C-alpha cells in the first residue's frame, strides 16, 4: 500500500481516492507514516496531493527524524515546506537544531515557519539581535521580523532583551509602542510596568461532543469522514478535565433585539479548570441574531455575583430581519489533548481538526485581536473559541460569517465577558 501511494503521488494523481488511501494507511499503520512521508519527499517532492493531515497521527517522537529530512528539501519542495510548518506547530523543538539555516531577510522570509522558534530560548538570539540592527540592505521589515522571532521564543528574558534592543536601535521609533504590543499579543503576552501578563492559558482543552451531536455528513465532493483526527478522537476518559454545556438559550435578553441570548459555553465546575480561569465568569453568551449583522462585532456582558448576565449595550434597540436559532444544547467534555495541539492554525487545519477549544493560543482567522475590557480598558484574557459547523436547533449549520471562528474573552477584575468573531 505504501508503494502504491507513493507511485500514485509521483504520477501526479490528485483525486480524492489518493487522499482517502493515505488516510486509511495512516489509520492502520501510524508507525509507518514517517516511512511513507520520507518516501514521498524522496520520490515525489513536487506532488500536489500529499495529505498533510495524516502527520497528526504520526507518533510524536517521529517528528525529529522527519523534520531533519524535510529541512534538507526545504528550498526545493513545497511538500517539505508544508511538513516543516506542521512540525513547527506540533513539535517546535524538532526544528531547533536548524533555526540558523533559515534565511530571514527578503522574500524568502515569507516561507519561514515562525513558530519553530517557540521554546528555543537563546539558541538563535545573537543572530536575531544582530539582524535588528540597521545595516546596508536590511529593511525595516527584515529588522521587525527578527524582533518577532525573538518574541516567538516566548522566553521572558529573551523578550526583554529584544525589547531593550528595539529601544536601543530605535526600531519602532516612528510607530510608538503599538507594534510592540501587537507583536507581544501575537505570542499571548502583554508587557506593562516591567512585568508580563499572560493572555491565554498554556494548556488547551478540546471540546468533546457526544458521538451523535453532529448530523452525518453527506458524502459530496470534499466532505469526508474527519473523525480520524486526534483532536476529534477524545474518548480516552482519563484525559477529561471538566464538563461544560454548549448551545441553547439563557434567560437574559439581548438589549439590541430583546430576544433571549444564546449560550456559547458554560463551565459547569470552574474550580477544576486551570488556575488561569480562577476569576472567569462561568457562562459565555452572545446574540447570534445581532452580532455582526448590526455592524457591531464585539459584544460584552457583565456578570453579577449571583450569575445574572447583563448585555452591555447602550444604543437604540433594532428590530432584526431574521431571528437566529440556537446551537443544539448539549453537555460536552473538556479534554486535555496535550502540548502537541497547543497551537492550531485555522487555515492549515483545513477544516479537518477540531477547533472548538478552551485555552491554548487562539487560532486566529485574521490578525491577532484581543478585546479590551469596556470597564477597565485592560486587554481581556482569552478563554475559548467556537468554530463554525455547529448544528442548530432549526436543522441548519452555523457559520461565523464565511467559515470563521468566534473568540471568547474575560476580564476577571470586572467580571465581564467579551465575544468577537473573525471570518475569511
Which CB sits closer to Zn ion, 257 or 384?
Answer: 257
Residue 65 φ then ψ, to 5°: -65, -45
Distance in angstroms (rounded) separating the CA atoms of residues 298 and 273: 25
Which CB sits closer to Zn ion, 43 or 413?
Answer: 413
217-256 residues near Zn ion, rule: CB under 5 A: 254, 256
Distance in angstroms (rounded) separating the CA atoms of residues 240 and 336: 6
Following DSSP, what letter does each residue of 65-105 receive, concatenated? HHHHHHHHTTTT-HHHHHHHHHHHHH-GGGTGGGGGGS--S
Give yes or no for a contact between 103 and 74, defined as CB atoms under 8 angstroms apart. Answer: no
22-61 residues near Zn ion, rule: CB under 5 A: none
Cell of 156: 521572558
Distance in angstroms (rounded) separating the CA atoms of residues 184 and 173: 17
The site string for Zn ion over 109-148 (x = CB under 5 A, - otherwise) reads ----------------------------------------
Which CB sits closer to Zn ion, 67 or 254?
Answer: 254
Min dist. Cβ of residue 289 to Zn ion (A): 4
β-strand pairing of 260-267 with 405-411 = unpaired
Q: Which residues pair with 130 in a beta bridge?
A: none
Which CB sits closer to Zn ion, 290 or 405?
Answer: 290
Min dist. Cβ of residue 65 to Zn ion (A): 48
Min dist. Cβ of residue 418 to Zn ion (A): 9
The label of the residue with cell 477597565 reads 376
Min dist. Cβ of residue 8 to Zn ion (A): 52
Distance in angstroms (rounded) separating the CA atoms of residues 26 and 14: 18
Min dist. Cβ of residue 288 to Zn ion (A): 8
The site string for Zn ion over 382-421 (x = CB under 5 A, - otherwise) reads -----------------------------x-xx-------
Which CB sits closer to Zn ion, 130 or 278?
Answer: 278
Q: Which of 197, 224, 372, 375 binds Zn ion (CB under 5 A)?
A: 375
Give yes or no for a contact between 126 and 100, defined as CB atoms under 8 angstroms apart. Answer: no
Which CB sits closer to Zn ion, 254 or 326?
Answer: 254
Residue 252 φ then ψ, to 5°: -70, 155
Work out the number of other CB atoms within 10 angstroms of the CB of residue 146: 25
Which CB sits closer to Zn ion, 41 or 250?
Answer: 250
Cell of 272: 477544576
Distance in angstroms (rounded) separating the CA atoms of residues 243 and 256: 31
Min dist. Cβ of residue 415 to Zn ion (A): 8
Cell of 69: 529530512
Min dist. Cβ of residue 316 to Zn ion (A): 13
Site size toward Zn ion, by CB under 5 A: 12
315-374 residues near Zn ion, rule: CB under 5 A: 373
Min dist. Cβ of residue 311 to Zn ion (A): 8
Which CB sits closer to Zn ion, 73 or 375?
Answer: 375
Which CB sits closer to Zn ion, 43 or 279?
Answer: 279
Which CB sits closer to Zn ion, 1 or 376?
Answer: 376
Min dist. Cβ of residue 421 to Zn ion (A): 15
The site string for Zn ion over 272-301 (x = CB under 5 A, - otherwise) reads ---------------x-xx-----------
Work out the number of other CB atoms within 10 angstroms of the CB of residue 207: 22
Rounded to whole angstroms, what are the CA distances from 27 to 37, 80, 273, 371? 14, 22, 32, 40
Q: Which residues pair with 333 in a beta bridge?
A: 208, 243
123-131, 205-213, 257-265, 274-282 -> range binding Zn ion (CB under 5 A): 257-265
Residue 53 φ then ψ, to 5°: -60, -20
Contact between 257 and Zn ion per CB under 5 A = yes
Min dist. Cβ of residue 291 to Zn ion (A): 8
Burial of 298 (C-beta count, 10 Å sphere; 0-12/13-18/19+): middle
Binding site for Zn ion (CB under 5 A): 254, 256-257, 287, 289-290, 373, 375-376, 411, 413-414
Amino acid at each position: 500500500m505504501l508503494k502504491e501511494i507513493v507511485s500514485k503521488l509521483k504520477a501526479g494523481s490528485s483525486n480524492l481516492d489518493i487522499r482517502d488511501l493515505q488516510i486509511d494507511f495512516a489509520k492502520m499503520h501510524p508507525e509507518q507514516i514517517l516511512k511513507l512521508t520520507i518516501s514521498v519527499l524522496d520520490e515525489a517532492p513536487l506532488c500536489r496531493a500529499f495529505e498533510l493531515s495524516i502527520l497528526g497521527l504520526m507518533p510524536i517522537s517521529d517528528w525529529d527524524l522527519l523534520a531533519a529530512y524535510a529541512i534538507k528539501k526545504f528550498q526545493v519542495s513545497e511538500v517539505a515546506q508544508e511538513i516543516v510548518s506542521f512540525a513547527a506547530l506540533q513539535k517546535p523543538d524538532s526544528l531547533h537544531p536548524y533555526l540558523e539555516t533559515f534565511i530571514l531577510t527578503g522574500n524568502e522570509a515569507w516561507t519561514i515557519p515562525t513558530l519553530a522558534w517557540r521554546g528555543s530560548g537563546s539558541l538563535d538570539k545573537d543572530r536575531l539581535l544582530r539582524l535588528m540592527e540597521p545595516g546596508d540592505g536590511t529593511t525595516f521589515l527584515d529588522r521587525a521580523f527578527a524582533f518577532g522571532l525573538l518574541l516567538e521564543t516566548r522566553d521572558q528574558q529573551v523578550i526583554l532583551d529584544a525589547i531593550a534592543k528595539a529601544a536601543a536601535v530605535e526600531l519602532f521609533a516612528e510607530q510608538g509602542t503599538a507594534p510592540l504590543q501587537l507583536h507581544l499579543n501575537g505570542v499571548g503576552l502583554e508587557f506593562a510596568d516591567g512585568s508580563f501578563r499572560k493572555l491565554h492559558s498554556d494548556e488547551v482543552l478540546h471540546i468533546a461532543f457526544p458521538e451523535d451531536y453532529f448530523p452525518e455528513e453527506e458524502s459530496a465532493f470534499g466532505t469526508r469522514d474527519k473523525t480520524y483526527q486526534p483532536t476529534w478522537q477524545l474518548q480516552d476518559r482519563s484525559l477529561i478535565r471538566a464538563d461544560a454545556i454548549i448551545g441553547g438559550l439563557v434567560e437574559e435578553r439581548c438589549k439590541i433585539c430583546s430576544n433571549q441570548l444564546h449560550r456559547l459555553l458554560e463551565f459547569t465546575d470552574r474550580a477544576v479548570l486551570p488556575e488561569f480561569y480562577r476569576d472567569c465568569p462561568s457562562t459565555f453568551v452572545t446574540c447570534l441574531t445581532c452580532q455582526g449583522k448590526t455592524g457591531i462585532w464585539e459584544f460584552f456582558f457583565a456578570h453579577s455575583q449571583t450569575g445574572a448576565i447583563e448585555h452591555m449595550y447602550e444604543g437604540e434597540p433594532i428590530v432584526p430581519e431574521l431571528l437566529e436559532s440556537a446551537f443544539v444544547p448539549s453537555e460536552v467534555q473538556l479534554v486535555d489533548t496535550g502540548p502537541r495541539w497547543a497551537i492550531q492554525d485555522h487555515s492549515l487545519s483545513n477544516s479537518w481538526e477540531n477547533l472548538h477549544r478552551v485555552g491554548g493560543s487562539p487560532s486566529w482567522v485574521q490578525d491577532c485581536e484581543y478585546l479590551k475590557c469596556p470597564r477597565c480598558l485592560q486587554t481581556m484574557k482569552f478563554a475559548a473559541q467556537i468554530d463554525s459547523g455547529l448544528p442548530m436547533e432549526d436543522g441548519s449549520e452555523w457559520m461565523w460569517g464565511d467559515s470563521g471562528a468566534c473568540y471568547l474573552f474575560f476580564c476577571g477584575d470586572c467580571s465581564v465577558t467579551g465575544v468577537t468573531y473573525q471570518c475569511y
